[in-house]
Amino acid sequence: MFLSKSKFLNDFAKKRGGHFAAGKIISGTDFESSIPILRELNHQGLSTTVDYLGEFVDSKEVANVRTDECIKTIKMIHQERLDSHMSVKMTSLGLDIDRQLVIDNMTRILDTAEKYGIMVTIDMEDSPRCQATIDLFKQFKEKYDCVSTVLQAYLYRTEQDLQALSAYKPFLRLVKGAYKEPAEVAYPEKKDVDDHYKKLIEQSFHYGLYTAVATHDDNIIEYTKELAATLNIPHDQFEFQMLYGMRSQTQLELVEQGYKMRIYVPYGHDWYGYFMRRLAERPANIAFAFKGFIKK
């Protein structure tokens, strides 16, 4: 988790990115090479959300170029008739540089997304950026229907955030949370995170929000199925989400059982931070990819 924020290792990894493109958790280094993968997922009944990898951008020029790439991607999702949303991180559009920069960049993205009817989800990053991300979401949601966001079960604050966001009727992705957070702000124990996650799913159903339960955890998935059945929540009011390359068989089984399933598909050269968080979460699952990277 600590290494996932190393700029030196990130730059080094970018140079080796081409070799890594074959990795099973990233679809390609550019959007064009990801299209066949997205098409195949759609063909299997899986919806997608694409993520142009990159975060914690510290230059205005890079943030603007990244915005252009997101706009191009949204246009291509439309042109290629893919069943896909797009996910973006506010730090990749300039959140750490200047608030107005991120507003201008995201406005350009949402103008395009609205024109083509593509949903854009604002990923949630680490806790120091949580309030700013929520504030930006609220501001954009006043103007655009096609914007959604994410809340993290490991943060103590999330029940209040969910309550506050419920008035905006968002398409809401719930996750456990992927960053290393101190005990002052986040539950240190997995059991408490899981319990809180279940509570949030129930709360989200209660508010009538379209709820995306983004997890690979069978325990949470089973809980969601049972809760939805008990509360008579129709299958078009919620969905499951998983990361590309993780539990592929389970993804298909959920579709066969009649649930909506969306796959988060990352692409781009800037794969290092994403990769390291996945490695920290479940080393065994992506050890094969890491081995391949070291060998080349």
Ligand X SMILES: Cc1cc2nc3c(=O)[nH]c(=O)nc-3n(C[C@H](O)[C@H](O)[C@H](O)COP(=O)(O)OP(=O)(O)OC[C@H]3O[C@@H](n4cnc5c(N)ncnc54)[C@H](O)[C@@H]3O)c2cc1C
Summarize as ranges the residues that interact with ligand X (CB under 6 A): 123-124, 150, 152, 175-179, 214-217, 241-243, 246-247, 264, 281-282, 285
In the complex with ligand X, which residue's Cβ is closer, 79 or 201?
Answer: 201
Let me know if 218 is a catalytic residue. no
Residue of 51, 66, 96, 123 marked active site: 123
Residue of 66, 173, 262, 278 marked active site: 173
Closest contact distance (angstroms) between CB of 131 and ligand X is 15
Please answer whether residues 139 and 103 qualify as being in contact, where contact means their C-beta atoms are separated by less than 8 angstroms.
yes
- Burial zone of 16 (CB within 10 Å; 0-12 exposed, 13-18 middle, 19+ buried): middle
Inter-CA distances, 232 with 147, 173, 198, Å: 26, 20, 17
Closest contact distance (angstroms) between CB of 189 and ligand X is 12
In the complex with ligand X, which residue's Cβ is closer, 112 or 224?
Answer: 224
Q: Which residues of 23-53 are buried (b: 16+ CB within 10 A; e: fewer)?
A: bebbbbbbbeebbebbbebbeeebbbbbbbb
Residue for token pair 């608030």: 99
Let me know if 247 is a catalytic residue. no
Report d(CA 156, CA 236) in Å as an integer: 29
In the complex with ligand X, which residue's Cβ is closer, 11 or 135?
Answer: 135
What's the angle, vertex CA 246, arms to CA 26 and CA 213, rounded to 5?
Answer: 110
In the complex with ligand X, which residue's Cβ is closer, 94 or 177?
Answer: 177
Closest contact distance (angstroms) between CB of 140 and ligand X is 16
Closest contact distance (angstroms) between CB of 216 and ligand X is 3
**Residues with active-site annotation:** 123, 173
